[in-house]
Amino acid sequence: MLRVLLSIAFAVYLLMIVMGYYRPDTTSAEKAMWSVGFVGLAALFYSSMNSFNALRHSMGQPARLVYVGLLFSFLPLFVAAYSIAVWQYSPTKLTTFQIIAMVFGGVAALIDLILFSWLTFGQVRNSSKEDRRSR
């Protein structure tokens, strides 16, 4: 359940950046870099919380909840793909900040989908094998 909530929150955050609701403070180069750093920290927080979730909370969950978490993990990746479409085909181009934020978000979503899904499904598969052995 934590994976679903984190994916929704991170996708909404990335969508706010793409739509222009969250803009960096560009009064100085230092403030602009802090804004980019905050996006990087948000992506790092998303990845670290999903790694904690993959290693700790997936053992006791039924397989259907793990599948729901996997489906919702595609949301941030869809937002990053949407930003590529906006960047390529829209008359209003993305700013450099938005492009960097989508790179951070896309990489964090890919890490979540590839690595943490693999760990989670491995744990679910191994826990179901242990349940069958104990019977």
Residue 134 lies in a domain: no
Say yes or no to pLDDT of 12 above 90. Answer: yes
Say yes or no to pLDDT of 1 above 80. Answer: no
Say yes or no to pLDDT of 88 above 60. Answer: yes
Residue 133 lies in a domain: no
Residue 88 lies in a domain: yes
Residue 104 lies in a domain: yes
Residue 82 lies in a domain: yes
User: Any idea which residue has 């900040």 for tokens?
Assistant: 97
Residue 107 lies in a domain: yes
Please give the pLDDT value at position 63: 65
Total domains in the chain come to: 1
pLDDT digits (tens, 9 = 90+) for 21-78: 888 877 888 888 898 899 999 999 988 888 787 776 656 666 677 677 778 888 888 8
DSSP secondary structure string, 75-107? HHHHHHHHHHHHHHH-SSPPPHHHHHHHHHHHH
Residue 60's domain spans which residues?
2-128
128 compared with 100, residue with greater pLDDT: 100
Please give the pLDDT value at position 130: 53
